[in-house]
Amino acid sequence: MTGTEEPTGAAHAVGGSTGPLAGRVALVTGAAQGAGRGYARALASAGACVVVADRFADAGEETVGLIEKDGGTARFCHLDVTDEASAQGAVAFAMAEFGRLDVLVNNPNRYRDTTYTPLAQMTTEHWDTTMAVMVRGTFLLCKAAVPELARSPCPAIVNHTSSAAYGVRNWLDYGTARGAVIAMTKSLAKELASLGIRVNALSVGSMAAEAIALGVLEREEQMTGTPEFRMQLIGRVATEDDVAGPVVFLASDASRYMTGQTISYDGGKFFLG
């Protein structure tokens, strides 16, 4: 199919009856917290049925609970983004639960177990793990999802990246991985256009949950008071709610004439100076 025919089993999807994503199904990876949780909640609020995929079951189920509390539809699926069978299983889970797949949001992250590390101190294991999660993980989910996305009349892939792609001192692995995702987005957009699948990236600045996990912020109320986060022109780090608008835009028909692009959504961080 070329993105113009209704997929078999589409009636399985429920979701919201209104909204720009009503009746569609989205798979969001890394959806247990931070930007991923924000993406999942936003897509559900826009009417989509959401598969919350993550390796952290308790936090993932919490995301599902928040979506359901808001009146949305979501299911949790355990996912190891570095494992090809697990990636295939997440897509199969979405099809079994909802009968279709329209949107893939790739948000693989490892900020629960990463730190700022100078080159001289970075181990090959540290480097390889970051690449496996962020680059391999994005690749594996795209590979698994494309056959089902191609059957959707409105398919979209949104890849999470970061302003770190443009260079961060003492965070070589993270910045390199984020840059690779931008390059992957452009290549996939060219390759998948014939299938009707749009592929875009969302480059987000510092997230509150990420900063706390890294130890840069000890408490959320400190988010506006440290030099690290005065780097945003807007003067604070991003919250889960901040990422809602752009991910819905990229996943919906509002961006139907847009592919291969990276939206910088970083509070003006990249332009400060």
Which are the catalytic amino acids? 174
Angle at the Cα of 39 from the Cα atoms of 34 and 41, rounded to 5 degrees: 95
**Which phi and psi (to 5°) does residue 156 adopt?**
-150, 140
Phi-psi region of 60 (alpha: psi -120 to 50; beta: other; left: phi over 0): alpha
Q: Under a CB-based contact definition with an 8 Å cutoff, are residues 175 and 45 in contact?
A: no
The widest CA-to-CA distance across the chain, in whole angstroms, is 55
Distance of CA 110 to the CA centre of its chain: 13
Two structure tokens written together for 5? 């025919």
SS3 category, 38: helix
Q: How far apart are CA 114 and CA 134, in angstroms?
A: 12
Q: How far apart are CA 200 and CA 263, in angstroms?
A: 8
